[in-house]
Structure 1
Amino acid sequence: MVRVFIALGANLGEPRAALAEAQARLRPLGVAPLRRARLYRSAPVGPPGQPPYYNTALEVETALLPDDLLAVLKQIEATMGRTPGERWGPRVIDLDIALYGGLVLDTPELTIPHRELANRAFVLAPLCDLAADLEVPGRGATLAALLEALPRTPGDLEVVEHAVQDVRAAPIPR
């Protein structure tokens, strides 16, 4: 089993419900959620006029290889109604592999650590909730150090749910 961190975001429909649904869909597909970060509301990146995003992260365990895990995440996104669209545009759900064990990978299909991880407070803050002292493979810095180095604007990231949750025993909705 490999410890993996998945970044989740949504800003269309009912974003909070979408994040919970995505989490629930993981376990039957071979991904065991362990802990969920606090929930954040963030200003959208990309085209103007979007509603704010809701973001969190999951610490999970899986035996899936990175490409297989990516396929599972894309399957969940499609099942939940995500359609291809504008880069950084609004979406019903967005699931990204942020970190996969100590792996560094750069292929046309998948980059680990996630390509934008070091540039996005809405990804780093939830990851810091789960593993602030974790050194990011290939970066030579911890998650906390990367977050601290980012320039911040007041109101760009707001905590809306204050508890990190142990989700190992969470029931799977049927």
Structure 2
Amino acid sequence: MREGIHDSSSLFDLQHLQSLKFADNRYYDSQIPSAIGKPANLRYLNLSRNGFWGQIPIGISHLIKLTVLDLSENYLELKNPNLSMLVQNLTELKELYFDYVNLSAEKGGDWCKEISSSLPHLRALSLYSTSLAKLTSLSMIRLDYTNLHSPVPAFFANF
């Protein structure tokens, strides 16, 4: 077990920082620091494959210039803040990678509505092995007029 990065890190005082790739560090048993939202000019944030666990901090929603957010392959969940609270200010986001993020607290299709209404510039969305709400009662999926240019995600088969 390695120690993670802490709120007191001077890294978060770099106000002109635009890109932060802090991936593949394997900081198991640590959380994403709440101070992650301090670098106001951050456009690219990659915290993937670190072994972070727990709640995604609300501070990420303060990074209003973000165009790329990658939180993949950690042990993260969204409860409070929920997805709506997290993405409502991230209107410049073009790429969102939430592979393995637990979204099971999101109700039904609300996660999809929040993403489509809050992220108008989104071009890439990755939800590989994402724990969505258990939709065992799902009997209909409507995809008409969606202009799909790729195969329907395989996880639809599990509903």
- TM-score, normalised to structure 2, is 0.32
Higher relative contact order (CA 8 A, sep 6+): 1
Greater fraction of residues in strand: 1
Larger Rg: 2
- TM-score, normalised to structure 1, is 0.30
Greater fraction of residues in helix: 1
